[in-house]
Amino acid sequence: MASLYNQAPSVSAVFSLYTSFSAIMMLFRTIFNDIVPKQIQDHITGKVVDFFFSSYLPSRFTFVIEKEWDSVENITFRAAEVYLPTLLSGLSTGNIVVGSSNLKNPEAQPKLGIPIDTNITDEFEGIHLEWTLHSVETKNSPYEKRFFHLTCEKEFRKKIMTEYFTYLMKSADNILRESLKIYTYDRRNSCWLSTIFEHHPTLETLAIESHLKTRIIDDLDAFSQGKDYFKSVGRAWKRGYLLYGPPGTGKSSMVAAIANYMKYDIYDLQLQSVRDDGELRRILTSTPNRSILLIEDIDCGYGASCKCQTKETKEDCERVSLSGLLSFVDGLWSSCGEERIIILTTNHKEKLDPALLRPGRMDIHILMGYCTPFVFRKLVALYLKIDDHVLFDPIEKLVLKVCVTPAEVTQQLMVTKNADIALKGLLELLENKTMKEEEDTKEIEDGGDTRKLNQMKKDK
Ligand SMILES: Nc1ncnc2c1ncn2[C@@H]1O[C@H](COP(=O)(O)OP(=O)(O)OP(=O)(O)O)[C@@H](O)[C@H]1O
């Protein structure tokens, strides 16, 4: 112990060593600063730092992807939500999030959900990547903030930025095209909620007159290939359809057929549940490109026109104004996003404000009307798989005479697969309707109500 103590350097020796070392360092620093050019200085400093610290400092880089970007939905976040479930089946955690919203098919395999705070690994051109979904509570609506962390080695940061994110967007787009979704707006959490879109009508199976079908297909084709055209004429790449006609004439089926044809998701907005114009603007700007915005029953969705609410909720439904809606259709609609379709439906076109109908506002107005002989034959071919029958003739004569909707006809045709029984039932339905209409007409004629009489003729 004593010998060890004797070998220790004296305090004065340590002090003199320290002084010499400081002097050399100062001299070296002065020479380095005065003689070596600034760029070379930075380069050398960087190399020295890398050499000494690379094994100690974290070499990981994290991209933070929040749910909103510029106050609208962040499509990178959305793409991650769509893409990541494809990586989940190999997840080696002890639990996994599963669920389904498909009430029509309860036996279907549930879908995989993205678990919170769980690492999901991906591989991109040999680069190891880690995704994690985080969730934090907030004090104000929407009360929860979600964001993804995407982590990689620092050196791959640029490649991920330029190539991986493009790959992510393309992959998500491909997945979305395979399964269409319908979204409804969740006001409480200020977000769109999706379910798988299980509507099968297509423009082929929809019973509509051939000229109408051709017109719609031509218009949709021109629209989807029209990016340059729309740009060249200085118009936004958008299309607006107004579908009008009595209940059961196929307006919703037409929306589904258009969505299936275009492979666009549907964003179904209940205008009555929107608080005010500001909220409307926020909701509408959060719909993505290549989508259909659907507003059904537009005649009772805005302003004072809404008479269908109770006293307590009346205030709510008067908050979205017609001008708010129009400014979206004309202004905001034109200035944000592209390749979008807006579809408005109504059972009462005559109740709509003329401002909504003026030329240029909705590009095409489509009447979904009562059944015609052509529509009847198409429905029979679809439901009963026949193209001729002895009852066709009397049925077609009555179809021309009375107002019967395609929904009423399909209901009758679905009663049985036996064509004789189904068509007999339909004939009876039409005969009853004829009798009823004749009685009504007589009653109105006797009462002298010419306005009502004209309306009945017009309906037909
Ligand atoms: N043109 C049609 N071709 C084939 N089926 C049709 C057609 N029109 C209606 N149907 C059938 O009638 C049902 C109701 O139609 P749909 O909901 O599309 O009518 P709608 O006009 O949207 O009615 P509403 O105004 O009450 O919402 C559909 O499920 C479909 O089976």
* Domain locations in the chain as residue ranges: 60-178, 210-367, 373-459
| pLDDT, average across residues 77-86 | 91
In the predicted model, is pLDDT for residue 392 greater than 70?
Answer: yes
Residue 373 pLDDT exceeds 90: yes
> What is the model's pLDDT at position 156?
95
- Report the relative pairing of strands 340-346 and 291-295 from DSSP bridges: parallel
Residue 361 reports pLDDT greater than 60: yes
pLDDT in tens, 101-110: 655 556 667 7
Q: Which one is predicted more confidently, 172 or 355?
A: 172
Task: Say whether pLDDT at 227 is over 90.
Answer: no
- Tokens found for residue 291: 């989508």
The predicted structure's pLDDT at residue 12: 76
Task: In whole angstroms, give the CA distance from residue 289 to residue 286.
Answer: 10
3-class state of residue 152 by DSSP? strand
Question: What percentage of the chain has pLDDT greater than the value 90?
Answer: 40
Cβ–Cβ under 8 Å, residues 175 and 83: yes
6 pLDDT above the threshold of 80: no
| Residue with more model confidence, 295 or 143 | 295
Q: Is the pLDDT of residue 251 over 70?
A: yes
Q: CB of 406 closer than 6 A to ligand 1?
A: yes
Q: Which residue has the higher pLDDT, 137 or 47?
A: 137
Comparing 70 with 165, the larger pLDDT belongs to 165
Ligand 1 centroid, distance to 94 Cα (angstroms) = 47
270 phi/psi in degrees, rounded to 5: -85, 105
The model's pLDDT over 291-338, given as tens digits with 9 standing for 90+, comes to 999 999 888 766 544 444 444 444 444 567 777 777 776 665 556 677
Q: Is ipTM > 0.90 here?
A: yes
Residue 311: predicted pLDDT: 44
Query: From the CA of 254, how far away is ligand 1's center (Å)?
Result: 8
Question: Which of the two residues, 8 and 114, has the higher pLDDT score?
Answer: 114
C-alpha to C-alpha distance for 357 and 43, rounded to whole angstroms: 67
Whether the predicted pLDDT of 178 surpasses 80? no
Q: How far is the CA of 253 from the centre of ligand 1 (A)?
A: 5
Pairing of strands 127-137, 144-153: antiparallel
pLDDT of residue 159: 95
Q: Which residue has the higher pLDDT, 183 or 442?
A: 183
Is pLDDT of 339 > 80?
A: yes
Question: Whose C-alpha lies nearest to ligand 1, atom 24?
Answer: 247
pLDDT at position 404 is: 95
Quick one: pLDDT at residue 4? Answer: 47
What is the reported pLDDT for 312? 46
Q: Assess whether pLDDT exceeds 80 at residue 76.
A: yes
207 C-beta closer than 6 A to ligand 1:
yes
Structure tokens at 251: 């307006």
Describe the crossing of helices 419-447 and 406-413 by its angle, rounded to 10 degrees: 150
Instruction: Give residue 173 CA to ligand 1 midpoint distance, Å.
Output: 30
The share of the chain scoring above pLDDT 70, in percent, equals 80
Q: Say if residues 232 and 218 touch (Cβ distance below 8 Å).
A: no
Best CA proximity match to 176, nearest among 285, 88, 259, 295:
259
Q: Nearest C-alpha to atom 13 of ligand 1 is from which residue?
A: 407
User: What dihedral angle (degrees, nearest 10) is formed by the CA atoms of 216, 222, 227, 233?
Assistant: -100
400-420 mean pLDDT: 94
Distance CA 323, CA 331 (A): 11
CA distance 146 to 278: 23
Among 132, 309, 381, 339, which Cα is nearest to 230's? Answer: 339
Q: Is the pTM of this model over 0.80?
A: no
Q: Mark 279-303 as b/e (b = at least 16 C-beta within 10 Å).
A: bbbebbbbbbebbbbbbbbbbbbbb
- Overall size of the chain counted in residues: 460
Half-sphere exposure of 57 (CA within 13 A, CB side): 9
Q: Letter for the amino acid at 253?
A: S
CATH number of 210-367: 3.40.50.300
Cβ–ligand 1 contact at 368 (below 6 Å): yes
Average pLDDT over the chain reads 82
- At residue 285, the pLDDT reads 79
Comparing 20 with 86, which gets the higher pLDDT? 86
76 membership: H or E segment, kind and range: helix 75-83
Query: What is the SS3 assignment for 209-263?
Result: CHHHHHHHHHHHHHHHCCHHHHHHCCCCCEEEEEEECCCCCCHHHHHHHHHHHHC
88 vs 332: which has the higher pLDDT: 88
